[in-house]
Amino acid sequence: MNHESTRIIHDEHAALAAMLQSLRMLVQRGPGNEPEQFFDVLRAMLFYIDEFPERLHHTKETELLFPPLRARAPHLRETLDRLDQDHAHGEAAVRELQHLLLAWELLGESRRVAFEQASERYLAFYLAHMRTEETVILPEAEKVLTPEDWQALDAAFATNGDPLTGKYPRDPVYDRLFTRIVMRAPSPIGLGSA
């Protein structure tokens, strides 16, 4: 990745993929003897995904990266339309997951399968989405965008990349939340003791 903006997107994908894999392992292991810890960590993970990638990462792609790419690579229009639809749908999907998790926690085992299936669907959807961006979109962007496009894009990422803080680097509060989740998640996923 040669440009600051694609490097940022790539780094955010790596962090998100790590979070999603941890979430999958945690769900597969189940609450065991530590249901409180289990539901606390899962809730924090879904909150992170809802707060950071769904609101900030997708916005950068849809509003800043995709428009110049649409102009320079018309053959990618269908793919970009699909990715934009994914972005539009993702926030509702993660809210639904948060609700299904609460149902499992508060109503018990009868609601477990619904959460497990929905989280697996969400993970598959999300990982496929990022794979397309990593294997199709970012390489094509490196090929077709002009130096002027990159200059504008990098400047936009530096000033408007984060709609909550209005500046980049992003609000460190998200890095702290990410670290806190990793610290609390049980091993081998994270560093927590439970």
Q: Which residues of this chain interact with Fe ion, rule CB under 5 A?
A: 61, 133
What is the SS3 assignment for 192? Answer: strand
In the complex, what is the shortest distance from the CB of residue 194 to Fe ion, in angstroms, rounded to a whole number?
Answer: 32
Distance CA 191, CA 176 (A): 15
Q: Which is nearer to Fe ion, 133 or 162 (CB)?
A: 133
Minimal distance, residue 9 CB to Fe ion, in Å: 6
CB of 12 to Fe ion, least distance (A): 7
The C-alpha atoms of residue 22 and residue 28 are separated, in whole angstroms, by 10
104 versus 174: smaller Cβ distance to Fe ion: 174
What is the smallest separation between the CB atom of 111 and Fe ion, expressed in angstroms? 30
Cβ proximity to Fe ion: between 29 and 89 the closer is: 89
On whether the CB atoms of residues 171 and 164 are closer than 8 A, the answer is yes
Using the minimum distance from each CB to Fe ion, give the nearer residue, 63 or 116: 63
Instruction: Tell me the chain's radius of gyration from C-alpha atoms.
Output: 18
Whole-number Å distance between alpha carbons of 191 and 193: 7
Which residue number, 83 or 97, has a Cβ lying nearer to Fe ion?
83
| Distance in Å, CB of 32 to Fe ion, minimum | 33
164: which DSSP letter?
T
For Fe ion, which is the closer residue by CB, 91 or 171? Answer: 91
**Any idea what the Cα angle at residue 24 is, between residues 131 and 47, rounded to 5°?**
85
Integer CA distances (angstroms), 24 to 64, 127, 182, 191, in order: 31, 12, 14, 16
In the complex, the smallest distance separating the C-beta of residue 75 from Fe ion, rounded to whole angstroms, is: 19
- Helix (H) and strand (E) counts for the chain? 9, 0
